[in-house]
Chain A
Amino acid sequence: MKDNIVEIRHISKTFPGAKVLDDINFEIKRGEVHALLGENGAGKSTLLNILHGIYDDYEGEIVLDGKSVHFKNPNDAIINGKISKVHQETNAIKDLTVGQNVTLGYEPVKGLFVDYKKLNKRVNEILDELKCGFRSETRVMDLTAGEMQMMAITKALFHNSIVISLDEPTASLTTRETETLFKVIEKLKSQGITVIYVSHRLEEVFRICDRATILRDGHYITTLDIADTTKEELIKNMVGREVSSVASRLKPSCVKDEVVLKVENFNSHGKFKDINFELHKGEILGFSGLVGSGRTEVMRAIFGADKKDSGTLYLHGKQINIKNSNDALKNGIGLLPEDRKTQGFMTLSTNIDNVAVSSLEKYMKGFFVDNGKKLDNCNHFIKELDVHPPRADYLTKNMSGGNQQKIIIARWLSTNADIIIFDEPTKGVDVAAKAEIYRLMEEMVAEGKSLIVVSSELPEVMGISDRIIVMCEGCQKAELKREEFEEKTILTYAIGGDKNE
């Protein structure tokens, strides 16, 4: 048995116009948890896609368990290579049961019919082994994000995978679910299964990984033993320079007394109730709480994207009526949505159009939209926000997460919006881009804009906010001033407890 389970040899990959992987070489040892690190756009996803047969045209060689392999498609990789990938957004068929999803295409049969008894028995065995609370017979639509991930891992085990990749597995998980996942990873490791772990959360890497390979701009940088390294060293290798990984305010607070936005008695049945708060000029107001606590719903209601049952909105002291998102835009309120891929940008549009869509009246020449002006504006912000690659005519969907986010920020900076709501601004964004986004936020408030930041990451919301509102199950649970910020306090409120408990 060879010591190296996976060997990456001289792997290169070119997309039209850009070389995204350039001669990558490294090895993954049998039975280790191997972190794959790098900024967004460094080439991690591309490398994983090659490893798992999603891309089949590349240069170089993959050696798996001593044999040279070249998978034609993901199924080929799972069945013949025994190597599975757990996706960032698990793509499951929601109307089927867990068992049906896990065994899809490889159902045990009895004659012409699927043998459901056998199917459920086998799947439940794996679920028990992983100590999952749901059963093979459960419908996928009833699962939480964390459970869906467990299902994906179950699927990998069902196919007897010897290598499992996890791509940003904790991005949409609650703290408790994350803990469960880590236990499962340890379990897999004890069974001799190799885990490839991709994450931006360095704390997690230090908790569960043995070694880490770092990529930057499509190049291999180094592979480090986690035990012998520090967070700072990892970051330095990832970005090629020293940056602070923690959200923090570098400039003094700019909060003024003036109330720019007042939300009064917002209610929406089944989503949230009795929401009341004020946003001051120059303030960064954080919204914390667990996933599903109603934060996003409140923001969408303020922005006019969803209807609310009742409630009044005051802008600069004057009552306004926002019926749809267009009204919000006209009143200078902007929103950066939670899920960039499905809500953030137009899939078929270039950066030019994705930046310009909210501010077309700025580029008019008589009756017509002037494409030159649109381009100039886009290029201005590409430079200002340091977007990579600095190409206005690129399709936004082909950019990395952090750069996509910058494009959407540019969209709102192009408008006159002075109240901007950031929903999970750094989800799936790499360390360096994160720091840049925080810097941008500070610049915005310095210019007199006011921001609301919804975030599930406590360090982020604590580091960047002037004030934090904690939500739990649709209710506003607490409002904390900067000096009251404390992880324990926020968490207590977020899970529904009171401070003195």
Chain B
Amino acid sequence: MSSLKEFINKKQRELVVVVAIVLLTIVFTALYPAYFSWNTFTQILQQATINGIIAIGMTFAIISGGIDLSVGSVFAIIIVAVGTFTAGGLNPIIAAVIGAALGGVIGSINGFLITKMNLQPFIATLGTMSVFRGVAYVITGGWPVLNIPDSFRDMFNHKIVQGVPNSVILMLILAVIMGVILNKTRFGNYLYSVGGNEEAAKLSGVNVDRTKIMGYVICGVCAAFAGMVMLASLGTGEPAAGQGYELDAIAAAAIGGTRMAGGKGTILGTVLGAILLSALKIGMILLNVDTFYQYIATGVIIVLAAYFEFIQDKVTKMMAKNK
């Protein structure tokens, strides 16, 4: 019993998002009964995948006390680079490994600018967002990469479970791995410390620079995986892909309870945040809600999520008082 209470206490924020998803499901099902189906469920997961994977990486950057605005551009570089490799006949597994590594290397550039050159994360990644986008165009001269071989596409698109492509499973596996890294490794512990109070972490002997760089590397790796999912999904690699995706990722992390100033956040929360956004979007599409209202609804959800921090605080206090 007490362990259940402890669990509820610890996972408060995540439970709130789950409740929100359930409420949303009830509302949509009431308005459109076919919403409640295995099909919708798998589509929600599937369409949360790209944003979810980017957001997992974004969570690392935000917990470290920073942000990464360049993920959409990193995403584009990986799409055209891996696209070029595979279209050129490179073994798909090797191409994917190179893609992930490349994402990490690009992420480390952000980390380097932020730590060694002491730039504000917002400004540094705002700059690299533009630089990386330019690089993506340069790689292909602006043209899309065509003819991605099926061997690569099947790696992500093949469905082992009915209706669930491998990319969804990839997101879940990444979520578990990244969750373990965040909670169970020294690096994860350091990341929370650095985000919680950078000066104190430094004066505790934590290698702040290395920790932060590592955070951005993971952010880059996640953007790379998301890029490969999209490449496989479309069979074409466009250098213009992924514009504005960083904001969806930030929104997912925020809804999941990641503290924008750093030091707090979980992968589970972020993934649930991405699923919530996806469920909302699909519900509105099925109801054929006008696009303009969709923007409003999405915005309201984000603001409500932020406001919920206050309500949650108050409820906790009241409960403590009543005890």
Interface set of A (CB-CB < 8 Å, partner B):
14-17, 303, 305, 324-326, 328-330, 334-335, 337, 342-349, 353, 356-358, 360-361, 364, 367-369, 411, 415
Contact = CB atoms under 8 A, between A and B. Distances in A.
Given A16-B317, A368-B184, A357 B197 contact: no
Contacts, number: 95
Given A360-B189, A368-B185, A342 B197 contact: yes
B190 interface: yes
A346 B211 CA distance: 15
Given A324-B207, A329-B205, A368-B180, A346 B200 contact: yes
B205 A358 contact: yes
B159 interface: no
Contacts of B193: 346, 349, 353, 357
A344 B207 contact: no
A224 to B, nearest CB: 34
B115 to A, nearest CB: 11
Nearest to A300: B203
Chain B interface, DSSP helix/strand/loop, else mixed: helix
Contact of A305 (B188, B203, B259): B203
A363 B317 CA distance: 33
Nearest to B259: A348
B201 interface: yes
Given A353-B189, A356-B189, A369-B189, A344 B203 contact: yes
Contacts of A329: 204-205
A387 to B, nearest CB: 18
B203 A343 contact: yes
Given A16-B316, A347-B263, A353-B193, A361 B202 contact: no
B192 A353 contact: yes
B207 A326 contact: yes
Choose among B200, B203, B321 the residue with the greatest number of A CB atoms under 10 Å from its CB: B203
Contacts of A305: 202-203
Contacts of B192: 346, 348-349, 353
B151 to A, nearest CB: 33
B144 interface: no
A325 B264 contact: no
Contact of A346 (B185, B201, B259): B201
Interface of B: 180, 184-186, 188-190, 192-193, 196-197, 199-210, 259, 263-264, 316-317, 320-321
The 5 closest A-B pairs by CB, nearest first: A329-B205, A16-B320, A346-B196, A326-B207, A368-B184
Contact of B186 (A337, A346, A369, A411): A369
B281 to A, nearest CB: 32
A27 to B, nearest CB: 29
Contact of A360 (B186, B196, B199, B317): B186
A16 B313 CA distance: 11
A411 B193 CA distance: 13
A325 B186 contact: no
A345 B193 CA distance: 9
A344 B208 CA distance: 15
B189 A324 contact: no
B201 to A, nearest CB: 7
A348 B260 CA distance: 13
A46 to B, nearest CB: 15
Given A16-B317, A346-B193, A347-B263, 5 more contacts: A325-B204, A344-B200, A346-B197, A367-B184, A369-B186
24 contacts: A14-B320, A16-B317, A16-B320, A325-B207, A326-B210, A337-B200, A342-B200, A346-B192, A347-B197, A347-B263, A348-B259, A348-B263, A353-B189, A353-B192, A356-B189, A357-B193, A357-B201, A357-B204, A357-B206, A364-B186, A367-B184, A368-B184, A369-B186, A415-B205
A357 B189 contact: yes
Contacts of A16: 316-317, 320
A373 to B, nearest CB: 12
Contacts of A344: 200, 203
Contacts of A349: 192-193, 196
B149 to A, nearest CB: 36
Contacts of A345: 197, 200
Contacts of B196: 346-349
Contact of A326 (B199, B206, B259, B263): B206
A334 B203 CA distance: 8
A419 to B, nearest CB: 13
A67 B193 CA distance: 48
Contact of B263 (A343, A346, A369): A346
Contacts of A360: 186, 189-190
B264 A348 contact: yes
B12 to A, nearest CB: 14
Nearest to B262: A348
A435 B197 CA distance: 29
Given A346-B263, A347-B196, A349-B193, A325 B185 contact: no
A357 to B, nearest CB: 5
A342 B263 contact: no
A165 to B, nearest CB: 26
Contacts of A348: 192, 196-197, 259, 263-264
Contacts of B208: 324-325
A409 to B, nearest CB: 12
A125 to B, nearest CB: 40
B203 A325 contact: yes
A356 B189 CA distance: 9
B202 to A, nearest CB: 5
Contacts of A357: 189-190, 193, 201, 204, 206
A356 B205 CA distance: 11
Contacts of A337: 199-200, 203
Nearest to A329: B205
B321 to A, nearest CB: 7
A343 B201 CA distance: 8
B185 A367 contact: yes
Contacts of B205: 325-326, 328-330, 334, 358, 415
A317 B204 CA distance: 25
